[in-house]
């Protein structure tokens, strides 16, 4: 799995985009555009594109030039391959200054979320805003999630170093690793899920105090991921939800689809997911565990009603201390 | 011998808490949810303290402690919640049900060992 390039930690999520442009003519413009629009560009050799797309990576979208591969027909082939492998990814098509929409093959006209001229980046900017950063995640929420999760991991695994990358949004629906936890988040301002994803072998290398299992029983990994999820969920509720219950008007449900063969999971929405990646490294540097955390507010998302609870609302108890009544 | 009943649906937490208590010379019983906890408590008069999670399948921890006091009529056993929940409303419900103490996870054994020993003495 390729990590999003760590930037200076920010409360504003970034997104990784695959840039399928050739030649140097527009490279500087794309680089500058990405830097100005919270995008982390990623390039791949054309002969490695399909394996790259098939791999488990976190992408927000694809910037495709209509001459990628040497000609428009080659670019259309690439677009079809992307649609087959990753239909959930928005594709932004760059064309020459005098382009016509009707010379795009009919079967591909709806494949592109935006078609823009190389000399008019305003169209691309708007499309990136609409399709990649279509949901607003309040900075206090993003910062709070990082703080909560990092503190819990650091407390739980005191001999391990915890590092987190800049939060990011993704459109792909591919599950990282083999173990996945899922817990519902429900409040007046959100309804959705939090997921933690991990590779099983790495997960089993994490220590569990008092555990009788020697790391060979997969259920030990399941239980550990479940407990980490529970701890983060509890802190999330205590800090951001409190007693703010969801409105009965929002008590709808949608089916979740999991395709085990493709390691694909859909929540029935095309909205981007808010992601965090934590890397735990043992003090001796010999072992490394990656945990991917995703938030998908697929049923209700009202960031304007979001607020962090006050200390009085949260209560005063220190974690681990016994409060006697 | 006095025992502590640890009630949690997470085997990770059960192992961690029970392992810590055993290491410190305390006899331990375990239950996997509130329903199991009620049954274990009813069957074992040696249990002097129940440490229970709240969010569990089949029967949650607060319902369990309410039933310990009402259905079992057991007002002697000490009840402590070990949970990720920390809202004042949840604690009020616990207090009303006869819960004696509240620990917000994660479990830090050294911080609570002496209090536990007193409760089972």
Provide the ipTM: 0.86
Query: Mind telling me how many Å the CA of A48 is from chain B's nearest CA?
Result: 42
Whether residue A111 sits in one domain with residue A23: yes
Residue-number span of the structural domain to which A117 is assigned: 15-131
Structure tokens at A76: 């259309």
Whether residue A116 sits in one domain with residue A174: no
Please report the pLDDT score of residue A7 as a whole number.
44
Structure tokens at A236: 């999330």
- Check whether B48 has a pLDDT greater than 60: yes
Please report the pLDDT score of residue A59 as a whole number.
87
- Establish if A311 touches chain B: CB-CB under 8 angstroms: no
Domain end, chosen from A99, A131, A163, is at: A131
Interface test with B, best of A210, A217, A323 (most B CBs within 10 A): A210
Please report the pLDDT score of residue A1 as a whole number.
39
Name all domains of chain B by residue range, CATH numbers in brackets: 3-120 (3.40.50.2300)
Please report the pLDDT score of residue A210 as a whole number.
63
Q: Do B103 and A322 touch (CB under 8 A)?
A: yes
pLDDT in tens, A262-287: 889 999 888 889 999 999 998 887 88
Query: Please, what's the b/e burial string for A221-237 (b: 16 or more CB within 10 A of its CB; e: otherwise)?
Result: bbbbbbbbbbbbbbbbb
pLDDT in tens, B70-95: 999 999 999 999 999 888 888 999 99
Please report the pLDDT score of residue A212 as a whole number.
58
Residue A155 in any domain: the answer is yes
Q: Give the DSSP H/E element, type plus range, for residue A257.
A: strand A257-259
Structure tokens at A240: 């951001």
Chain A, chain B: beta-carbon pairs less than 8 Å apart: 109
Task: Count the domains in chain A.
Answer: 2
What is the CATH classification number for the domain harbouring A85? 3.40.50.2300
Please report the pLDDT score of residue A271 as a whole number.
87
Domain end, chosen from A131, A158, A187, is at: A131
Q: Which residue in chain B has the smallest CA separation from A157?
A: B106
Sign of CA pseudo-dihedral A198, A200, A201, A203? positive
- Residue among B16, B94, B111 whose CB faces A208 most closely: B16
- Establish if A209 touches chain B: CB-CB under 8 angstroms: yes
Whether residue A232 sits in one domain with residue A152: yes
Sign of CA pseudo-dihedral A206, A211, A227, A201? positive
pLDDT in tens, A58-87: 888 999 999 898 889 999 999 999 988 888
- Helix, strand, coil percentages, rounded to 5, for chain A: 35, 25, 40
A266, burial (CB in 10 Å: exposed 0-12, middle 13-18, buried 19+): middle
- Establish if A211 touches chain B: CB-CB under 8 angstroms: yes
Average pLDDT over residues B20-41: 95
Please report the pLDDT score of residue A3 as a whole number.
42
Domain end, chosen from A109, A131, A153, is at: A131
Question: Which residues in chain A come in under a pLDDT of 50?
Answer: 1-8
Please report the pLDDT score of residue A244 as a whole number.
72
Helical H segments across A38-163, by residue range:
49-54, 72-85, 121-131, 139-156
Q: Which residue in chain B has the smallest CA separation from A229?
A: B84
Residue A254 in any domain: the answer is yes
Helical H segments across A37-138, by residue range:
49-54, 72-85, 121-131
Q: Which residue in chain B has the smallest CA separation from A213?
A: B15
Whether residue A161 sits in one domain with residue A117: no
């Amino acid at each position: 799995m390729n990590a999003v390039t760590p930037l200076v930690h920010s409360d504003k999520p970034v997104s990784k985009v695959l840039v399928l442009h050739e030649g140097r003519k527009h490279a500087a413009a794309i680089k500058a555009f990405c830097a100005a629009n919270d995008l982390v560009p990623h390039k791949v050799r054309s002969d490695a594109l399909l394996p790259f797309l098939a791999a488990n990576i976190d992408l927000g979208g694809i910037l495709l030039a209509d001459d990628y591969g040497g000609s428009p027909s080659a670019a259309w082939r690439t677009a079809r391959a992307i649609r087959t492998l990753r239909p959930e990814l928005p594709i932004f098509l760059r064309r020459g200054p005098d382009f016509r929409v009707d010379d795009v093959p009919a079967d591909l006209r709806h494949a592109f979320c935006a078609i823009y001229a190389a000399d008019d980046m305003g169209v691309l900017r708007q499309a990136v805003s609409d399709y990649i950063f279509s949901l607003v995640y309040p900075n206090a929420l993003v910062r709070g999630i990082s703080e909560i999760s990092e503190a819990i991991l650091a407390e739980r695994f005191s001999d391990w170093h915890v590092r987190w990358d800049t939060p990011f949004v993704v459109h792909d629906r591919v599950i990282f690793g083999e173990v996945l936890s899922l817990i519902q988040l429900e409040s007046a301002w959100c309804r959705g899920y939090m997921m933690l994803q991990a590779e099983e072998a790495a997960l089993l290398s994490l220590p569990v105090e008092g555990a009788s299992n020697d790391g060979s029983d997969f259920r030990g990994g399941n239980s550990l991921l479940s407990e980490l999820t529970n701890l983060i969920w509890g802190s999330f509720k205590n800090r951001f939800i409190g007693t703010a219950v969801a409105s009965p008007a929002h008590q709808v449900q949608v089916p979740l689809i999991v395709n085990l063969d493709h390691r694909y999971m859909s929540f029935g929405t095309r909205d981007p997911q808010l992601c965090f990646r934590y890397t735990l490294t043992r003090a001796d540097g010999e072992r490394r565990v990656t945990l991917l955390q995703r938030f998908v507010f697929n049923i209700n998302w009202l960031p304007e009603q979001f607020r962090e609870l006050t200390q009085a609302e949260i209560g005063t108890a220190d974690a681990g201390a016994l409060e006697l009544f | 011998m006095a025992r502590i009943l640890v009630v949690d649906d997470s085997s990770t937490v059960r192992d961690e808490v029970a392992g810590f208590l055993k290491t410190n010379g305390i006899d331990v019983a375990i239950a996997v949810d509130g329903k199991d906890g009620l049954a274990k408590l009813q069957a074992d008069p040696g249990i002097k303290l129940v440490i229970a999670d709240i969010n569990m399948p089949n029967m949650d921890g607060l319902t369990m402690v309410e039933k310990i006091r009402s259905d079992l009529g057991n007002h002697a056993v000490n009840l402590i919640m070990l949970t990720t929940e920390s809202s004042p409303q949840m604690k009020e419900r616990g207090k009303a049900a006869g819960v004696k103490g509240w620990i917000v996870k994660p479990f830090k054994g050294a911080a609570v060992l002496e209090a536990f020993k007193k409760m089972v003495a």
